Chains A and B, each alone.
Chain A
Amino acid sequence: MQNGSKFEKLLNFGKFVVTAELGPPKSADLSIIRRHGECLKGYVDAINVTDNQTAVVRASSLACAVELKSMGLEPIVQVTCRDRNRIALQSDMLGAVGLGIHNILCLSGDHEKFGNEPGAKGVYDLDSIQLLGVASGMKEGRLCGGDKLDGPADIFLGAVENPFADPLNYRILRLRKKVEAGARFIQTQCVFDIELFEKWMEGIRKLGLHERTKILAGLTPVKSARAACYMKEKVPGIVIPDKIIERVARAKDQKEEGINICVETIERLREIEGIAGIHIMAIAWEGVVPTLVERAGLM
């Protein structure tokens, strides 16, 4: 087996890490993954590859992660509970580790209703917390049903949390469940409401969760006020305060203002105790990542 997760080593070393998200193409042509990967090289420490995000059929997360890996990049494979039962999930995780991809992020997944196959049967055999528990068992050589693996799987396990979703006062406890189930890194939903996020982190620190898991704050640069409104209305789990939308709307160059807001947020985030890095989700605007990283001085 390979040498485990580079991403994990960087986090343990105490580096303030940067991860970015890439969405696989809606075709069998994976060249766009290589192009985006090339553009992120040297700017990020690891790259998340989404798993049919918003329930839209795309090339498989694992296949695209293999492409990135072959370019010397460090992929994080996202795995959702929506499309696969515990047999397929465990099998895919074993395959990923076998191919040298150790970073696995477990999610429930956006509901199938949102995608281009709304008649699909959602699986949800496991929920995300159960999936984390199952993957933790695999690290110890144990399958969900109790059967033994012929060898343990070296997985660096991650999860997500949305500090802005309701019921708000349970979001910290939910994160604790994920940590207890084995999540060693957390990537949050994108932060627009920094005050609310700071309050959430305060709660996280009170429980000492930042010492048991590495927390990466999510960020999404907005391209325009219209895009921000769309995200606020249509994308599940995203909360954008009106003052942010108004600020972008007032700007002469809305794209530039979107970047400014992001850079300012990164500066605020770096001051929060317990934040181990940032996770940039610039879907359909991947090219902005190097700019953000440079402007925020994270090189």
Chain B
Amino acid sequence: MLFAVLSGFIVAALAPWLMGFLKDRIGWGLALLPAGLTLYFASFIPAVSGGEVVLQHWAWMPILDVHLSFMLDGLSLMFALLISFIGTFILIYAGAYLKGHEYLGRFYVIMLSFMASMLGLVLSNNLISLFVFWELTSVTSYLLIGFNHRDLDARKCALQGLFVTVAGGLALMAGLVMLGLVSGSFQISEVLVADGLLESPLITGIIICVLLGTFTKSAQFPFHFWLPNAMAAPTPVSAYLHSATMVKAGIYLMARLNPALGEHMLWTVLLCSAGGITMLLGVYLAYSATGVKKVLAYSTVMALGTLTMLIGIGTDYAMIAFASFLLGHSLYKGALFMIAGALDHETGTKDLTRMGGLRKAMPITATAALIAGLSLAGLPPLFGFIGKELMLEAVLSAEWQSSLLLVAAVLTASLGIAVAAAVAIKPFWGKVGDTPKKPHEAPVGMWLGPVVLAATSLLFGILPFLPEGWVVAAAVTSVKGQSVDFYLSLWHGINLPLILSGASLVAGAVLYALWGRTRAPLTMVNDVFSRVGPEVGYFRFMSAMTGFAAWQTRVLQNGVMGIYMIVLIMTTVVLAGYTLLSQYGLHLTLTGIGEVHFYEWAIALLMVMAAVYVIFTRSRLGAVATIGALGFSVALIFILFSAPDLGITQVLIETLTVILLVLVLFRLPGFSHYSSRFEIWRDGTVAVLFGGLMTLLMLGALDTRYFETISGFFVEASYPEAQGRNIVNVILVDFRALDTLGEIFVLAIAAMGVYSMLRLRAEVKDDRG
């Protein structure tokens, strides 16, 4: 399985190169990979449906309990099959949709990387590697949404999607780490059977953090707003990421962790309420939208809400409904998105109100749309019908707020039928619309996917034991944590769900009939709500954040060097001073002051006078001379205290310095008096504090000695090992020769800097001349 996951990344790296060979057939060529993966995963069907869980393990960072380990059970298998099966047709479709696009190669690189990340996500058996793949899907999806990077809107929407999902990802990481710590293992297979998880004091935090991650990823209320905006992506991306795969990552994780966390009340309440609200809000927004991709995006939000709610309900029926609804939705939504892309491609508009009667021009697309639409509407004999019936059944079986959820579910079903009709019937039947381009049938690459997916919906609806035996039963076992006895069928006899379905069909038909007339009032209502919705909060937050960043930059990076230095110095003074005084105390010692010779006093006095005089002098020559006096005093100190080499060097350097200063500084203007009285006092205080701190630090260092000096080694080894009698020189050129080499480099770089600045000036002058 490691190779199955990595193959996507490998082929992604080769994609631009393959472009050169395959040219326009690139989509077909690359689709061989997911097609092969579909077969590979399908080969596990007998084992997994027999109840086996396939585990494979590669140690990655064993010391951190992070592994590239994979688990293939019913749930993973269903997702893996959907990802590779739908991925096959998406790649073919993209080849036709983006034919001749200048960045097609780049598109395939990101798309294949995304596919591989998604496979890694659903197959991971390790919380940390799952998180890594999770973030990879966020990043690749950002690149895909912003694929038309010259378009400002696309970039903004991509950034929005990234911010929302990555912010949730941060919370998720905290949740997963806590989960791993509490259950004592980061392996998911072990987390699911860990004891005492629900009794842990961290359980509330775990649930909230994990759900923040999954809700943002799966566009649950109040984070649903990024998903419709993500439709700025090219349609193949929307069809793949924002219907069948990425947005289902959150759903996957909730389903995956359901056996471990599902018994907790908070889990039930949060999932049911967020899911229920998202479902209803999504279908309402889908009904009120007119752009074909927007309608589909909101209906995806609806489906994601439904799935979340079903996990939250958590009964046997809910789990069966979850698996069936998920499968059904992926099939018809993938198909419908591809059809939407074909419509856009062939008619030149996304606006549903301008489409109509396209059945004659695009017969194949129309048939696929009709079937997929029926499945979306939940009508027999499509697989979507089974999913919807089970969903109603599940809501009836709910233990928490069953009646409220039922009202929401029936409303959703009714509106859903109207939405399905708007997408699948409106463009193809009725009066011929007025479209910018003269419509004709889409190329084979663009109708193949919808046709296959729609046909699969039909096949699974008529023969429901096929998906049941293959993956649905095993997936239900994974989500429930134990096996559940059931069979899928179209006909369950006349029962409450069927009656509710019938009622919603009538209501849906009425709502569709009113579709044209409700546009204007609904747009008005939505305009009002868009001013208070969560998306407004997002924009407020973003502008506040950039505002804060600008303010902070203005304050901290104000360009005044004095302020920078004061901040740095005072931070040092406060931190070091506090530590020194609190740990060591204030000790103004004067040890050995009586042994100081009079000439040493004289030098000390000279240095102090120089230091003070230089502050008050207004003459540049005086300042330079004072600096010279200070430097030579330092040289004297070196010589008096047994450091002849230092003394010699200091005298040489000091001489050079004075010459340099005299040469250069006198080309600069004289000292001006810039500072105000306040600045003088402020800088003086800072200087006194810093000088005082240094004195105290030195006294502290002199009066405490934690360990002996290491110089003994150099003194003893100098002659026997390095054949040198001047120990300081031996250290410089032998024991610490690399340091000296570094020093030479510093000087060389400084010399080059000086030289280039002088040259630069010469050239500027030449230019002027």
Q: Is chain B found bound to chain A in the same assembly?
A: no
